Amino acid sequence: MALLPTIPTSFVPHEASAARRQMRTDFVGAFGVFAYAVFAVVFILALGVFFYGRILAASMVAKDAALAKAEAAIDPATVESFVKLRNRLNSSQTLLTNHVALSGFFKAIEALLPSTVRFTALHVAVDATGVTKVEGTGIAKSFNALSAASGAFAGDGRIKDVIFSKISVKRDTSVSFGFSATLDPRLISFSPSTAILNEPSASTTPSL
C-alpha cells in the first residue's frame, strides 16, 4: 500500500517585498554612516578654522602692540631732521639736473676744431623752451680749414643745426665767419663725473 505525501494543514506565504525592504534598510544605514562621516569632517574643519582665526587674531594683537611700541620709540625731532634732509637732497638733485655746465661744450669745440680755426667770440643762451643756442664769430686760416671744421661738426652730432654765415675772405686768404648752432642737452648737462674729470689733478710726485 503506497503512502501518501504529507500535506501541511496550514502555511504562511512569504512576502515578495521582504528582500527589497532589507536592501532599502541596508542602503539607508550606509547613507547614514556616510552622512555622519561628512558631518564629522565638517565639524573638524570648522574647529580648525575657529582655532586658526584665534591664532591670527592673537598674532595681529601682538604685531599691533609691537608697532605701537616702535612708534612710541620714534623721536619726532629725528624724523623731522630726516624729512628736512630728504627735501634738501631732492632740491639739490633738481638744481644739479638743471645746472648748465659748459665744460663739455668747450672740450667738444677743442676736439672738433682744426688748429687753423678759432673762435673770437661765443654767446650761449637757453631759450624759454629749453633749447640751448650758441652764436659767435671766428677766423679760419683758409676756406678749406673752415670746410674741415664744418665736416667735423656734422660728423659729431652733438652740435646741431650748424650754420656758418657772414663769410669774408681777407687779403691773406684767411676767412672770418659767423657761427650759430644748437647744442645737445647732454653736452651741457652737469654730472659729478664731468666735474671730477675737469678738476686739475694733483701731482703725486713729491717736491724735492
Percent of the chain exceeding pLDDT 70 equals 72
C-alpha to C-alpha distance for 137 and 16, rounded to whole angstroms:
125
Looking at residue 201, its pLDDT comes to: 42
Looking at residue 194, its pLDDT comes to: 47
The three cell numbers of residue 53 are 582665526
What does the DSSP 8-state code read for residue 100? Answer: B
**Sign of the alpha-carbon torsion through 8, 10, 12, 13:** positive
Which domains, and CATH codes, for the chain?
Answer: 100-196 (3.30.1360.100)
Q: Select, from the ranges 42-46, 72-76, 102-106, 198-202, the one with the highest average predicted confidence (pLDDT).
A: 42-46
Q: How confident is the model at residue 8 (pLDDT cuts 50, 70, 90)?
A: low
Mean pLDDT score of the chain, rounded to an integer?
75
In one letter, which amino acid is 69? K
Rounded to two decimals, the pTM is: 0.43
* Phi, psi values for residue 119, rounded to 5°: -95, 140
Looking at residue 187, its pLDDT comes to: 74
What is the mean pLDDT of the segment spanning 71-84? 80
Q: For residue range 53-73, what is the model confidence (pLDDT) as tens digits?
A: 888 888 888 888 888 888 777
* pLDDT higher than 80, residue 43: yes
The three cell numbers of residue 79 are 624724523
The alpha carbon of 188 is separated from its chain's Cα centroid by a whole number of angstroms, namely 26
Q: For residue range 141-179, what is the model confidence (pLDDT) as tens digits?
A: 888 888 888 888 888 888 888 888 888 888 888 889 999
Helix (H) or strand (E) holding 27, with range, is helix 18-73
Looking at residue 107, its pLDDT comes to: 84
C-alpha to C-alpha distance for 21 and 33, rounded to whole angstroms:
18
User: What are the DSSP calls for 159-198, one per residue?
Assistant: EEEEEEEEEEE-TTS-EEEEEEEEE-HHHHB--HHHHHHH
